Structure 1
């Protein structure tokens, strides 16, 4: 009799555990992701968002429109992204990418030396010379750079301490390739 009770209790326990685990997974994958995507689309400058699962890792892919304040946008995204790293998808052109690559020297030097005032002056001169509008802000966690040329925009978050919250931003063709 006791052996039969132990078997029944074990089976019921495993069944309950299985139901709880599947409920948790369903909650995380459907309701939480849907809520996260819906909340992100309320942020000015965000066109759409999705959770992309890639080889046992996932990321929050955020398509941006015309971003006016990247720092605020990123603060709001961090608040709702949970454990998902964030990758911004922008409307870049090859010309904007070239300007950004040229700016990397000043950005990396500014971060290494801590001379952010000189970095800002150098980047402003490079942007002006290339005919690109630049918006550069920073806080303790990152440097937020927006390069705009006409309707096109390149956005970049350079983390100061390698937190891994923001993955390198990419152009709009990234979503169709991945």
Structure 2
């Protein structure tokens, strides 16, 4: 009789645990992911956003297409992400990647030395010489860079204080 009770209690406990776990997964997939997608699609240039597990770590993957206003978009996405690091997926090409590699010197020097006006002028001059349109913004946390060339776009958020809110951008 006692064995039956223990078996029945164990079975009921396991059933309740399974229901709770299933409910959590359904809640995560249906309501949280849909909420993130809906809020992120209000930002011009954001195609989709979702939270994924990559190497057992969560990150928000944000696919973009001709995004503008990266600083404001990043701040909005950071609020939506709720402390999950954000990775942008852009539509870059090899010439934009090459230019970004070249302007990295000025960007990193600006961060290290604090000479941001010189950094801005240097970066804008290099972009102009390459025939690339640049959108460069900054706040106390990061430098926001958008490079545009025809239909290609490179997006990078370079954090100044190592907060790890933004992960390196990948090509889409």
Q: TM-score range by the shorter chain?
A: 0.7 to 0.9
Correspondence 1:126 to 2:164: no
**CA root-mean-square deviation:** 2.2
Alignment of 1:12-161 (within 5 A): 12=12, 15-161=15-161
Q: Secondary structure at the match of 1:134?
A: strand
Once the 2 structures are TM-superposed, how far is the Cα of residue 18 of structure 1 from its aligned partner? Answer: 4.2
The answer on whether the counterparts of 1:91 and 1:154 sit within 8 Å (CA) in structure 2 is yes
CA contact (8 A) 1:45 1:73 kept: no
Q: How far did 1:36 drift?
A: 1.0
More off after superposition, 24-33 vs 88-97: 24-33
The gaps in structure 2 that reach 5 residues or longer are none
Give the match's secondary structure for 1:59.
Answer: strand
1:59 shift after superposition: 1.9
Deviation at 1:150, TM superposition (A): 1.7
Q: Show structure 1 runs of 5+ residues with no match.
A: 173-178
The answer to whether the 8 Å contact 1:52/1:61 transfers is: yes
**Deviation (angstroms), 1:129:** 1.1
Give the length in aligned residue pairs. 172
* Number of the residue aligned with 1:175: none
User: Following the alignment from structure 1 to structure 2, what is the Cα–Cα distance between the partners of residues 22 and 91?
Assistant: 37
Q: CA deviation at 1:46?
A: 0.5
The farther-off stretch of 27-36 and 71-80 is: 27-36
* TM-score, length basis structure 2: 0.87
- Whole-angstrom CA distance in 2 between matches of 1:106 and 1:88: 22
Shift of 1:85: 1.6
How many angstroms apart in 2 are the aligned matches of 1:24 and 1:170?
Answer: 30
Q: Cα distance 1:23–1:122, how it changes in 2: closer, same or farther (>3 A)? A: same
